[in-house]
Amino acid sequence: MASHVVAVSVSPGDDESDELQSLRSWIEDEAELAAAVRAGAGSEVAGTLGTVTDVLLITLGPGGAAGALAAVLVTWIRSRRKGTVIVRVRRPDGAEWELEAGGLSAMGAQEVQQMTRALADWTGTHEGTGATGGTPRP
């Protein structure tokens, strides 16, 4: 698998920049992803607009980086107390996957594990359709 960049954004919320910074800290705490994340503007990603730092751009290469990212995203959003927080992951081909805090908090361990695997496959290989709790958007 060649390296590619995925864009991750967070919305809504009282202060999206705080939520985005919180997510960035979680991603940077993962050794495999620490050097792969940078802040960017939505306009840096095909099909999006943005003028401020409103996305995290994560370079995924060969290995387990996609799995590490999926695990961090699922764990982070499950820790949100606000049921309205949504994480959007956009692949280079423009496909998008949404994770909603409210939908993930009620999941059992097996469902979370299945969704994490599906998100890792979808993010890392540019293929797949997602699983319960995540909403892929072509």
Instruction: Identify the pLDDT of residue 42.
Output: 54
Tracing tokens 């060649």 back to the chain, one arrives at 2
11 burial via Cβ count (<10 Å: 0-12, 13-18, 19+): middle
**15: pLDDT strictly greater than 70:** no
Please list the residues that pair with 58 across neighbouring strands.
6, 37
Identify the CA nearest to 69 among candidates 111, 23, 120, 10: 120
71-89 residue pLDDT tens: 999 999 988 876 678 899 9
32-78 residue pLDDT tens: 898 899 988 754 444 544 444 589 999 998 778 999 999 999 999 98
Across 83-103, average pLDDT: 86
**117: pLDDT strictly greater than 70:** yes
Q: How far apart are CA 93 and CA 128, in angstroms?
A: 13
For all residues of the chain together, what is the average pLDDT? 79
Across 108-120, average pLDDT: 91
